[in-house]
Structure 1
Amino acid sequence: MNPTNADAAARVYEELLTRVGEANPRPRIEPVRRLAELAGTPQLSYPVIQVAGTNGKTSTSRAIESLLRAHGLRTGLFTSPHLVDFTERFQLDGEPIDGELLASAWDELRLPLEVVDAELEAAGHGPITFFEALAVLAYAAFADAPIEVAVIEVGMGGEWDATNIADARVAVFTPIDLDHTAILGRDVETIARTKAGIVKPGSAVVTAEQHPDALAELEAAAERAGSRFVVQGRDFRLIEDRVAVGGRQIEFVGLSGRPYDPAFVPLFGRHQAENVTLAVAAVEAFFGAERPVPEEVLDEGLGQLTSPGRLQLIGTDPVIYVDAAHNPHGAEALARAVAESFSFEELALVVGVLEEKDAFGLLRALAPIAHRVTVTPVESPRSIDPTALREVAEDAIPDTPVEVADSLPEALDEARAWAARGEGRAVLVVGSVLLAGEAIAHARSEEWGIA
C-alpha cells in the first residue's frame, strides 16, 4: 500500500478506535440497521454469504471467497480481527482494500453516524461501537467498489452481531464450541442458538459437523425459516485426506452427490481439509446445490488459497510458525496438525493469552507437542500476566520447562536461541490472534524474509 493509501486507512482506524472496542459488543442490532438505512442500505446491494461458528470461520470464509473469485465474480471479504494491517479486514478480489476507497466510504458514513449517535444518546443508550461502525463501513465500501458477492464473517455470536443486517443467501456454520462464554452463554446449546440468528427466510443453511445440541438449534432455526439444511458428513463429506508436501491432498463429495477429483489444499491440518469441504458446499449452495463446482474453478480457487496466521511460517533460521488458535478446540486441531504435518524433534511454544480465554484448556491441548514453553504478555490490557500464565502452564504441561518473558521480542529471542542450539528444533507462537499479529509484524521488522 502506498503512503497516501496507508495514511487514509490509518485515519479511519484511529477514528474508529475512539469508539467502544470490539471486545465489548452490545447485544443489539436495531441501531446498526438504522445506521445502514441512513447510509443507503448498502448490505442489500449484492448477495451475501455469512459465516458463523467458533473455530475455522476466517479460513472457511477465505476459501469461499477464493472459490467465488475463481468463478470470475468480483468479491468482497470481511473478516475480523486483523493481524497486522487494518485493511486486511476488507478484501476486494483477494487483496486488502485501497485505503482511499475505504476513507471515502468512511467520510460518507460520518453524518449517519452523528445522527444515530445522537438518537442513541437521547434514548439513554451508548453510541455506535467500533464493530458496529466497522460492519456498516464494510458493507458500504463493498457497495462503492462495487462487488458482485460478499463473504461476511460474523464478529461474535450471530443474532445480534453487527454483520447480521444483511439477508444472507447462504448461512454457513463452522464447528461451534465454548468461547466468549461470559457473553454468548456457558453451554454449546445456548451459544448455537445465538449463532443460528443469522439464518434468514429462504436461505440455504450449510453446517459443519456439530455437537448434537448445537446441531439441533441450527436445524430448528432452518426449519423456522423454511431453509434448506445440509450437514457435513451427511449431505456432503470429506472422503480422503492425506498429508502432502506443503499441505493436504483431499477428496470429497459435494451436495450434488458427485465425488470431486483429488484436490491439493496448500494448508496444514485435517481441520483445514474439513473447512475447505464446508466452503465448497457453501459455494454449491450459493449457485444451486445440483451444480458442482467446475474442476478448473476448484483447482484455481484452492490452489491460490492462503490462511494468514494459521500455521504460518514466519522464520526459517530457525523455523518459526505462528498460529492464532486461542481456545481449547482450536488448540486441539492445531496440535493434531503439527503432529501429522511436521517432524520436529522438539518444539518450543511462545504463548500469550487474553484474560477471558481458557488458558489452562488451551495449554493442556498443546501439551502433546510442547517440549518447552515461554510465556509472554500480549499487547493488550486484557492480557494475562505472564507470571500468572506461567503457573497455569506448569499445571497444564507438567514436567516441561516454562520460562517467563517480559515481551514478545524477548520471548522470541529466547526461543530462537534455544532452537538454534539443537537439530530439528522449531518454535510455535500461539494463544491469541493479537499475539499472532505481533509475531508477524516482528518478523517483518526483523526482516526474517518470510512473513
Structure 2
Amino acid sequence: MEEEWWFHSYNRGKPLAKDVEEARRPEWAARLLEALGHPEAGMRVAVVTGSKGKGTTAFLLARLWERLDPDGGPVGLFVGPHLHDVRERIRLRGDPIPHEAFSHFSAVVQPVYTSLLSEVRHEAGEYIGPLAPLLAVAFLFFRASGVRRAVLEVGRGGLYDEVNVVPHEAAVITALFPEHLDAFGPTLEHVARHKWGIVTRDVRDVFVGALDAEGLRALGRAAEERQGPLWVRTHLSLERFAGGPLSPAAREIEAHRAAARPRLFLYGRDFAACDVLLGPEATTFRYCEYASVSREGSTDAAQGEEGIVLPLLGAHQARNYALAYRAARRLAGDPPLAGERRFEGPLPWPGRLELLGREPDVLVDGAISRQAAEEARRVLEEAFGVPPRPLVVVLGLPHGKDVDGVADVLAPVARKLLLVPVVAAHLRPADYAAVLQKYPHAAEERELGAAVSRALREAGRSGVVLFAGTQTFVAAVRREWLGRTRLG
C-alpha cells in the first residue's frame, strides 16, 4: 500500500537520524501552521503527555471541560495513535472528523507541507514529523467548526514533539516510568525531562498524575532545570496536614506557592480518586479535593463528588479521570463540586481493557509495560474473579516493548499464555524465546485467528480471555473479533 503523504518526510529523514528525538525538529510544525495562517491562533489549549494513560486522560479532559463549561462550545481533541482509521486522531464531541472534512483539509495542507519538504535536510537526518500535517488538518477543522478550545495529546515525549509548538495554558502529565530509553536517554530522569518539556512559557497550570517517590524526584529535577530550585521547593517540597495551623515560615512559602507560576496541582496531595471499586463493566469512585496540602494517601477530603460511574475498567482509569477532572475544573474556572458524575456507556474509546464479549469474558488492552500489565491484572483479579476462573492471555508485543515484564505479571495467573507475532511494516517482531523457556504453559501461535480460536477453547464459557499488546495488535484483535461477531 502506498505510504500516507504525512509520512513522506519522516520516512526520508528518520532512517538517517543520529539523535532520534532532536532530529524531529518541531519548528517545522510551527512553520506549517504559520504558512496556513495560524488556524490555532486564539484557541485555549491544554497539552497532555505521560508514559501511560495520556490518550485516555486527554479524551476525558475534553469531555469534562465541555461538560463543566458548556457555554464555551465544543472542545476539539487531537490524540494518537489511531486503532483503525487515522480520522480517529481528530475528534469533536467524541466523534472522529468526517471523511469529507478530512479529505478537504488534507487537500489544503498537503501542498503547503510538500513545499516545505525542499527545505528539510533529510540527508542529515532531519524530518517533519507526521504529527505536524495531521495537527494542521485538525486545527483547520476545529476553526471551521467554531471550536475555541482544544486538548492535544503529545505523540511521544514532549520536549521535541510537534504538539508542543502550539501555545497552551495547561500542561497535564500522567504516569511516569522508563520508556523509549533509546530516544529519551538511559534513565527515568531523561524521560521526565522530555515530559516536563510541555511546561512552556505560556503554561499557567501544571497537573501531575499519580507518581511514586522515584518518579516525583525525577520530575522535580526536570522542573528545577526549567523553573529553577525556588519553584521546586515552593511547589514540590511543602507538606502540611489537612486543617493544621501553618507556621509563619510555612505561610510565607504558601504565599510564594500561590503567586508563583505555573501553579502545580499534584495527585495524592491536591486531588485524588477515592474509594475505588472495580466492576466488570465500570469503575466507581469518589473524586476528592483536599482543603490543604496533605500527605499522600490521606482521605481527609474537604470536598468532592460522589457516585462517579466510569465505563472504563481499572483503578488507573479512576486516577486518569481525577487528573482530567482537576484540569477541566481549573480550565472551566473552578465551578462548585456537587452531584453525581455519570458517563454514558460504553464510551467511544476502545482498546482500553475493553470488554468485547461474554461467556467467556473477552477483553483487549494496550498493555505494553509491566506497570500496565499490573493494572490489567488487578482488574482481572478484583472484577473478573481470576483466579479461580481460568484465564488465557494472548500477547502481541513487538521488539522494544517490555515483553518480559508483561509476561512476568500475567503468566502466574494464566492457565495458558499464547504468544503471537505482531505483523506490521514499521515494527520488528519480538523475541519470545525467554518467555517460552521460563513458562511451561506458554506457547507460540503464528496466526492471530488460530490464537483467538485456541484461547476461546482453552478458557471455556466460564473463563476469561485477555488480549494484550501494542496498538497494532489491539486493532488486529478488534477486527478479528468484530469479523467473527458479524459472521456468527
362, 376, 382: which one aligns with 1:340: 382
Deviation, structure 1 residue 183: 0.6
Structure 2 match to 1:135: 135
Change (3 A) 1:104 1:371: same
Give the stretch that moved more between structures: 405-414 or 427-436.
Answer: 405-414
- Distance in 2 (CA, whole Å) between partners of 1:392 and 1:19 is 37
267, 271, 275: which one aligns with 2:320: 275
Matched, 1:16 2:6: yes
Query: Which residue type is aligned with residue 458 of structure 2?
Result: W
User: Which residues in structure 2 correspond to 1:200-279 (within 5 Å)?
Assistant: 200-201=200-201, 202-210=203-211, 211-217=215-221, 219-220=223-224, 221=226, 223=231, 226-244=261-279, 246-254=281-289, 258-279=303-324
323, 326, 341: which one aligns with 2:368: 326
Query: Which residue type is aligned with residue 56 of structure 2?
Result: S
What secondary structure is seen at the aligned counterpart in 1 of 2:443? strand
Deviation, structure 1 residue 184: 1.3
Matched, 1:106 2:150: no
Unaligned runs of 5+ residues in structure 2 are 233-259, 292-301
The superposition leaves residues 330-364 of structure 1 with CA deviations (integer Å, 9 ceiling, x where unpaired) of 11111112211112411111111111112111211
Query: Which residue type is aligned with residue 397 of structure 2?
Result: V
The superposition leaves residues 152-185 of structure 1 with CA deviations (integer Å, 9 ceiling, x where unpaired) of 1110000110111111111101011111111112
Deviation, structure 1 residue 384: 5.3
Deviation, structure 1 residue 321: 1.0
Deviation, structure 1 residue 258: 2.1
Kept after mapping to 2: 8 A contact 1:170/1:285: no
- Distance in 2 (CA, whole Å) between partners of 1:43 and 1:371 is 51
Kept after mapping to 1: 8 A contact 2:423/2:429: no
TM-score (norm 1): 0.87
What secondary structure is seen at the aligned counterpart in 2 of 1:366? helix
Structure 1 match to 2:485: 447
- Distance in 1 (CA, whole Å) between partners of 2:222 and 2:124 is 34
- Distance in 1 (CA, whole Å) between partners of 2:428 and 2:128 is 28
Kept after mapping to 2: 8 A contact 1:45/1:143: no
Structure 2 match to 1:4: none
Query: Which residue type is aligned with residue 128 of structure 1?
Result: I
Structure 2 match to 1:5: none
Kept after mapping to 2: 8 A contact 1:61/1:77: yes
- Distance in 2 (CA, whole Å) between partners of 1:65 and 1:185 is 31
Deviation, structure 1 residue 414: 1.7
Change (3 A) 1:306 1:335: farther
Matched, 1:165 2:165: yes
The superposition leaves residues 354-406 of structure 1 with CA deviations (integer Å, 9 ceiling, x where unpaired) of 111121112112234322111111122455547x31x232355x34x122112
What secondary structure is seen at the aligned counterpart in 2 of 1:424? coil
What secondary structure is seen at the aligned counterpart in 2 of 1:195? helix
The superposition leaves residues 177-233 of structure 1 with CA deviations (integer Å, 9 ceiling, x where unpaired) of 111111112211111111111112342100012223233146434549930011001
Query: Which residue type is aligned with residue 315 of structure 1?
Result: G
Give the stretch that moved more between structures: 257-266 or 272-281.
Answer: 257-266
Query: Which residue type is aligned with residue 39 of structure 1?
Result: L
- Which structure has the larger Rg over C-alpha atoms? 2
Change (3 A) 1:136 1:123: farther
User: Which residues in structure 2 correspond to 1:42-81 (within 5 Å)?
Assistant: 42-71=39-68, 72=70, 73-81=73-81
Query: Which residue type is aligned with residue 420 of structure 2?
Result: T
User: Which residues in structure 2 correspond to 1:1-12 (within 5 Å)?
Assistant: none
Kept after mapping to 2: 8 A contact 1:322/1:436: yes
Change (3 A) 1:150 1:295: farther
Deviation, structure 1 residue 110: 2.2
Give the stretch that moved more between structures: 163-172 or 71-80.
Answer: 71-80
Structure 1 match to 2:447: 407
Structure 2 match to 1:307: 349
373, 389, 396: which one aligns with 1:352: 396
Identity %: 26
What secondary structure is seen at the aligned counterpart in 1 of 2:304? coil
The superposition leaves residues 239-286 of structure 1 with CA deviations (integer Å, 9 ceiling, x where unpaired) of 211234621221121377522123111121111111111111110121
Change (3 A) 1:313 1:209: closer
What secondary structure is seen at the aligned counterpart in 2 of 1:54? coil
- Distance in 2 (CA, whole Å) between partners of 1:353 and 1:392 is 14
Change (3 A) 1:369 1:142: farther
- Distance in 1 (CA, whole Å) between partners of 2:429 and 2:121 is 36
What secondary structure is seen at the aligned counterpart in 1 of 2:200? coil
Query: Which residue type is aligned with residue 66 of structure 1?
Result: R
What secondary structure is seen at the aligned counterpart in 1 of 2:363? strand
User: Which residues in structure 2 correspond to 1:283-298 (within 5 Å)?
Assistant: 283-288=328-333, 290-292=334-336, 295=339, 298=341
406, 409, 413: which one aligns with 1:365: 409
Kept after mapping to 1: 8 A contact 2:209/2:266: yes
- Distance in 1 (CA, whole Å) between partners of 2:98 and 2:426 is 31
What is the aligned length? 431
Structure 1 match to 2:241: none
- Distance in 2 (CA, whole Å) between partners of 1:306 and 1:125 is 38
Query: Which residue type is aligned with residue 215 of structure 1?
Result: L
Give the stretch that moved more between structures: 245-254 or 22-31.
Answer: 22-31
The superposition leaves residues 66-96 of structure 1 with CA deviations (integer Å, 9 ceiling, x where unpaired) of 2123242312111111111221111111101
Change (3 A) 1:139 1:248: same
Q: CA RMSD in A?
A: 2.7
Structure 1 match to 2:194: 194
Kept after mapping to 2: 8 A contact 1:284/1:293: no
- Distance in 2 (CA, whole Å) between partners of 1:199 and 1:337 is 33
TM-score (norm 2): 0.81
Structure 1 match to 2:240: none
Change (3 A) 1:291 1:255: farther
Kept after mapping to 2: 8 A contact 1:377/1:383: no
Kept after mapping to 2: 8 A contact 1:260/1:295: yes
- Distance in 1 (CA, whole Å) between partners of 2:372 and 2:216 is 19
Matched, 1:417 2:460: no
Change (3 A) 1:340 1:101: same
